[in-house]
Amino acid sequence: MLKVIIGEDDPAMRLVLRRVLEGISGIEVIGEAGNGRQLVSLVEEFKPDVVFVDVDLPEMNGVEAAREIFDIDPKIFIIFATAYDSYTHEAFEVYAFDYLIKPFKLERIKQTMERIIELKGERDKSGIVERPMTPLAGENRENKNLKLLVYSNDKCTVVNVHEIIVITRFDRKTVIHTARGSFTTYETLKQLEERIKNEKLFRCHKSYMINVDMITEIIPFGNKSYLVKLANVKETAIITQEKLKEFQEKYCL
């Protein structure tokens, strides 16, 4: 069952969206919010799979709300609805899985939801590809095995930098995934990126940093973004179109 939350300030539009969504099998609307702040707290509480966001919501606009939602769980599919015909905000492009420009045909919602169901299945497909970990760039030369000290509440965990497969955000915290488990820290992705500074750890999205040696598959995803499957972990990442181009130029033949 796909859980959906609607963020829309016009009650009549909420009614329309709810009716349409409930007409699609396998979808359940678990909440409705009339403003951005309410939407974020609903998402935090109920952890939906999909969020419908109107771009100009009161209190906190749709793009700001999307940014927060990505910080809570970047795996949530965000669908923007807007009546601005030329809305090309950068953030808007980073977070949107899809965007609907009003007036749009309701059929469009159905198509998008079907695509989400399909992609979610693809993403959650079990079966981990195994691949030996390779040392990170620059390490061999000095024959060092760099450690990253990860501080969380009361303890300090030691992670070998070359073990890192993907770093992402979850519940407003940063999670480092390795083959032997994941570690949570309050440091931001940006701080970690600057601290580690390694060629093979690639910042592919606002909410993701990946070990390029562990990439197994890149699948077309939402609006100008791709899903990245990684070896040794179940966790997947998202790469934006721009970053994919950078990745190809930097690492590929």
Partner 1 sequence: MDRMSLPVLLFISLPEAMLVSVIGLSLLGFKSTLKEITLIGIFQAICSYFIRSLPIAFGIHSILQLITFSLIISFIYLIPYKLSFLAALLGLSIYLAVEMVSAPLIFNLTGLSLSSVLNNFWERLVFFLPEALILVIIILLIQRLNLRFPERWLDLLGANKSYILKSAPLISLFLLQFILIMLIYLAIYLENNSLSKIKTFISDPFMLILMDALISVLFIFSMKRIINLLQEEIKLKTQLDYLNQIEELVRTLRLQRHNFNHELQVIYGLLEVEAFREAKEYIKKYLEEIAVTSELIKTDKLEITALLQTKASLAESRKINFKVEVKTSLRDLPLEVRDFNVILGNLIDNAFEAVERLPSDQRKVEVELTKDLMGYVFIVRNYGLPIKQEVIEKIFEPGFSTKGEGRGMGLYSVKKLVQKYNGDIQVKSDANWTIFTVQLPDKIENTRTP
Contacts of 242 (CB under 8 A, 6+ apart): 224
Q: How far is the CB of 95 from partner 1 (least distance, A)?
A: 21
Q: What interhelical angle do 36-46 and 62-72 show, nearest 10?
A: 20
- Nearest distance from C-beta of residue 62 to partner 1, angstroms: 13
Contacts of 190 (CB under 8 A, 6+ apart): none
From CA 172, how far away is CA 168, in angstroms rounded? 10
Among residues 82 and 185, whose Cβ is nearest to partner 1? 82
Of 37, 64, 72, 104, the one binding partner 1 by CB under 8 A: 104
251 scored as a contact of partner 1 (CB under 8 A): no
User: At 78, phi and psi to the nearest 5?
Assistant: -110, 125
Q: Which two tokens stand for residue 66?
A: 């999307």
Which CB atom, from 1 or from 12, has the smaller least distance to partner 1? Answer: 12
CB atoms within 10 A of CB 159: 19
Q: Measure the CA–CA gap between 89 and 92, rounded to whole angstroms.
A: 5
Cβ atoms of 35 and 59 closer than 8 Å: yes
Part of the chain binding partner 1 (CB under 8 A), chosen from 35-43, 62-70, 100-108, 226-234: 100-108
Q: Which two tokens stand for residue 253?
A: 């033949």
Quote the least distance from Cβ 7 to partner 1, whole Å: 14
| Residues of span 40-99 touching partner 1 by CB under 8 A | 83-85
Does 10 sit near partner 1 (CB under 8 A)? Answer: yes
103 binds partner 1 (CB under 8 A): yes
- Shortest reach from residue 228's CB to partner 1, in Å: 34
Site for partner 1 in 105-164 (CB under 8 A): 106
User: By the criterion CB under 8 A, which residues form the site for partner 1?
Assistant: 10, 12-13, 15-17, 19-20, 23, 83-85, 102-104, 106
